[in-house]
Structure 1
Amino acid sequence: MHAVIMAGGKGIRLRPYTTRLPKPLVPIGDEFSILDIVLTQLAQAGFDRVTLAIGHLGELVRSYAGDGRRWGVDIDYHQQGSALGTMGPVVDLVDRLPEEFLVMNGDVLTDISFADLLGRHRESGAPLTVATYQRQVQVDFGVLSTQDGVVVDFVEKPKLDYRVSMGVYGLSRETLLPYTRGLPLGFDELVLDLLARGVPPREYAFNGYWLDIGRPDDYDRANAEFDLLKKTLLKGSPCASW
């Protein structure tokens, strides 16, 4: 089982934490980095190969992760020469990938079953499977509905429910073959293109723990919660009892 971890972004929204460290290497708790947790989880789930797509401060990621032997996985690397979006680097290395594989962002903390997601993707035959999560967004304003210049409805500070992408995907190699290597390709572009072609992605709905560490307040929350969540995030690993 093969996973591709996107670890090449500059982490601009997470500054100043990412001024000197790539985002996957920022520490969580006293003993771990985000990447350490993710690699431990993948190994526990039965993944034996991991490709790290690196860019900004990539040599630090390479020095930290090495060949992956301390997690029990084989790690190789893909160096991005320019910003190619989420899926562009995967297109570049498609010849090195199996028929179905996992793709995930390198800044995600979750207790999702990576193996089950990939297994469901294989069974479905879908071009892409997207892990989704229910998120509630608080609108801090009174919301008006108008028609022909007349207010016809009003809701004070409504809460809106959305299903959002978790940044974890099951992907088929064949899906990426039509795209040109070396050109940017975002996850959004891929989804819209698949919809336009009449081959929609599948959903893997998840309701456990998920945190996308994109901003300083997300990072602070991850550290505040980690002692309570360590056994959940690292279940089955000796690290969970440290």
Structure 2
Amino acid sequence: MIGMVLAAGAGRRLRPYTDTLPKALVPVDGETAILDIALANLAEVGLTDVVIVVGYRAEAVEARKADLEARYGVTITLVHNDKAEEWNNAYSMWLAREHFAKGVLMVNGDTVHPVSVEKTLLAARGKADIVLAVDDVKKLADEEMKVILDADGHVERITKLMDPADAAGEYIGATLLEPAAGEKLADALKATFEADPDQYYEDGYQELVRRGFKIGVAPIGDVAWVEVDNHDDLAKAREIAVTY
């Protein structure tokens, strides 16, 4: 199993930082960026081969690649998304299909969370071939990527477009993918972005569920984390990143 980070996004709501940097390289603790935390977490759980999907301002990640490898003891492979500023991340994830076919622990490049999330996902191996990290403690609103579970505790629905009161929790942008899921996921992602290139990779998960695939969840407990979409989120990230 390897690590994977989706870091192709532009993060326009974080300007002026993202005038010259991808969202994943926005600093959250001194010179420590979101990507630094992701790599440190993956390395701590022994996932030292890491694939990073880059797109917007990819040259900034390329320039830091050697330093990141030395700092965290990882080997980084970059996958380039040529449509990062045009299409959503279903396509971005699909581009890494040959890598997630090996089995990956994948994290979004805009999520600041402690290493306990990675540990929780790895402890859930065997629960299903795809397991999503879910916050079932946080009070939900309209913007979150929410999940509804079936009677057996598998994902029935994953979307932002649901009543928060109906949701079992929020998917936090971290997934465990076993090799057995690789080909089926790649096919579902392809169908998803071909139907609408503006769709999320989570819509690919929903397509898998529609096809009868069982996706499990791993509750992360009451931990401090944040998806960094705007300057308010960034302020929260800077408060919690120093506590990890």
User: Do they superpose with TM above 0.5?
Assistant: yes
AA at the equivalent of 1:114: E
In the alignment, structure 1 segments of 5+ residues that lack a partner are 140-158, 234-242
| Aligned-CA RMSD value | 2.5
CA distance in 2, matches of 1:225, 1:103: 21
Report the count of equivalent residues: 208
1:154-195: per-residue Cα shift (whole Å, max 9, x none)?
xxxxx9584111011112313324244985462232122122
In the alignment, structure 2 segments of 5+ residues that lack a partner are 143-163
Matched, 1:78 2:79: yes
CA distance in 2, matches of 1:115, 1:98: 21
What does residue 167 of structure 1 align with? 173
What does residue 135 of structure 2 align with? 133
Correspondent of 1:88 among 91, 94, 101: 91
What does residue 20 of structure 1 align with? 20
CA distance in 2, matches of 1:138, 1:114: 25
CA distance in 2, matches of 1:174, 1:116: 25
AA at the equivalent of 1:80: N
More strand by share: 1
AA at the equivalent of 1:113: V
What does residue 147 of structure 2 align with? none
* 1:137–1:161 CA contact under 8 A, matched in 2: no
Alpha-carbon shift at residue 216 of structure 1 (Å): 0.5
After superposing the two structures, state which structure 1 stretch, 3-12 or 87-96, moved more: 87-96
Q: Computing the radius of gyration over CA atoms, which structure comes out larger, 1 or 2?
A: 1
* 1:94–1:173 CA contact under 8 A, matched in 2: yes
CA distance in 2, matches of 1:92, 1:222: 28
1:107-147: per-residue Cα shift (whole Å, max 9, x none)?
11112331441452x41233x211111331479xxxxxxxx
TM-score norm. by structure 1 comes to 0.76
* 1:45–1:113 CA contact under 8 A, matched in 2: no
What does residue 117 of structure 1 align with? 121
More helix by share: 2
**2:70 aligns to what SS in structure 1?**
coil
AA at the equivalent of 1:78: V
TM-score norm. by structure 2 comes to 0.75
